[in-house]
């Protein structure tokens, strides 16, 4: 089977133990030669320092590191400072997002949507960064309509994004349809599926409700039936997600981006089964 490039996403750890665990996970995942490791950014700047520290660590280890940068609640000045801090240490790729305003934060700040952030990054730093943006095959939960969401995705690409990473999904048809519709709108940027390995059903159900990713009924019912039996949930999850990846690769997906939740094993096992060693 053809092997498109892979990448892994982490969140910035909060404790020294978390840092150690993530370093160990990264070592394992690095054996598969990923194109990059990305690190999330708490909207409103809540993880600003930890994201920067984690990115620096990855960069110093010799891997390509891609910080996420969300603009909601922020100012041009703050975003500019972060962009130049990343540029100065040699970072070349950024995942540009709007983010969600944390509860209790009153002002949306100086950027309303991610397309404004993409345009700002291009205006400030020219072609220096490879810019990734988010895409939603099952549509963003706040979108007025599927059509408007597609057009809003196009705005980000037109503003200068090079490629996109999708929200996770378990229905390959939603992804293929989204790519097809994007191409009809003239979007040629690669659209890399985001892959969420399944570790814990309750956690996945909670996440999915929040971000608008659908867990198909047959999967929900099967996992609910396993109750507290985490081994069965994980074994089922690995089968289902491996099959999903096989379909995506066979259908021409240009890459696979894994939401690792800072754990190596689930992503490693799926990728090993796909022939990545
Ligand atoms: P946008 O592209 O701005 O879209 C948000 C909504 O506004 C959509 O409904 C869209 O249709 C609409 N819209 C967009 N542009 C316009 C416009 N010009 N006019 C009118 N409506 C418009 N969140 C974090 O906080 N930190 C992270 O690190 C992070 N990483 C992520 C990584 C990936 C790969 C993905 C898929 C999501 C990530 N998120 C992260 C979540 C993301 O921030 C949320 O989904 C957020 O609600 C939307 O961000 P966006 O960049 O897609 O926003």
Whole-angstrom Cα distance, residue 138 to residue 62? 35
**231 Cβ partners below 8 Å, 6+ apart?**
none
Evaluate: CB of 194 within 6 angstroms of ligand 1. Answer: yes
CATH number at residue 110: 3.20.20.220
Residue minimizing CA distance to atom 20 of ligand 1: 152
Q: Note the pLDDT of residue 46.
A: 81
Q: Take atom 26 of ligand 1 and give the residue whose Cα is closest.
A: 41
The boundaries of the domain holding residue 212 are: 5-273
Ligand 1 centroid, distance to 99 Cα (angstroms): 6
Distance CA 67, CA 91 (A): 8
pLDDT of residue 259: 98
Strands 130-135 and 163-168: parallel
Question: Each residue of 54-95: pLDDT tens digit?
Answer: 999 999 999 999 999 999 999 999 999 999 999 999 999 999
Please count the structural domains in the chain: 1
The residues annotated as belonging to the active site are 9
Structure tokens at 257: 């981006």
- Confidence check: pLDDT of 106 > 90: no
Burial class (CB in 10 A: 0-12, 13-18, 19+), 218: exposed
pLDDT at 1 over 80: no
pTM > 0.85: yes or no:
yes
Residue 225 CA to ligand 1 center (angstroms) comes to: 33
Asked if 272 and 209 touch (Cβ cutoff 8 Å), the reply is no
């Amino acid at each position: 089977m053809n092997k498109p490039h892979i990448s892994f996403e982490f969140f910035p750890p909060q404790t020294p133990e978390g840092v150690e665990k993530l370093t160990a996970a990264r070592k394992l995942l690095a054996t598969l030669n990923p194109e990059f490791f990305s690190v999330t950014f708490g909207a409103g700047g809540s993880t600003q320092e930890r994201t920067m520290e984690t990115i620096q660590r990855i960069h110093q280890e010799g891997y390509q590191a891609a910080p996420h940068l969300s603009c909601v609640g922020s100012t041009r000045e703050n975003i500019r400072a972060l962009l130049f801090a990343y540029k100065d240490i040699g970072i070349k790729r950024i995942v540009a997002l709007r983010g969600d305003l944390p509860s209790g934060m009153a002002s949306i700040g100086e950027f309303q949507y991610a397309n404004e952030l993409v345009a700002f990054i291009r205006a400030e730093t020219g072609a220096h960064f490879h810019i990734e943006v988010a895409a939603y095959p099952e549509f963003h939960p706040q979108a007025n309509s599927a059509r408007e969401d597609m057009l809003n995705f196009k705005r980000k690409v037109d503003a200068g994004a090079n490629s996109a990473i999708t929200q996770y999904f378990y229905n390959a048809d939603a992804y293929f349809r989204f790519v097809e519709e994007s191409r009809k709108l003239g979007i040629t940027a690669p659209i890399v599926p985001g892959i969420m390995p399944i570790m814990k059903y309750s956690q996945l159900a909670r996440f999915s409700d929040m971000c608008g990713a659908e867990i198909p009924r047959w999967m929900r019912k099967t996992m609910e039936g396993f109750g507290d039996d985490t081994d069965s949930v994980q074994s089922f999850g690995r089968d289902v997600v491996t099959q999903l990846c096989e379909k995506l690769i066979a259908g021409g997906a240009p890459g696979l981006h894994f939401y690792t939740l800072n754990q190596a094993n689930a992503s490693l096992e799926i990728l090993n089964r796909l022939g990545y060693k």
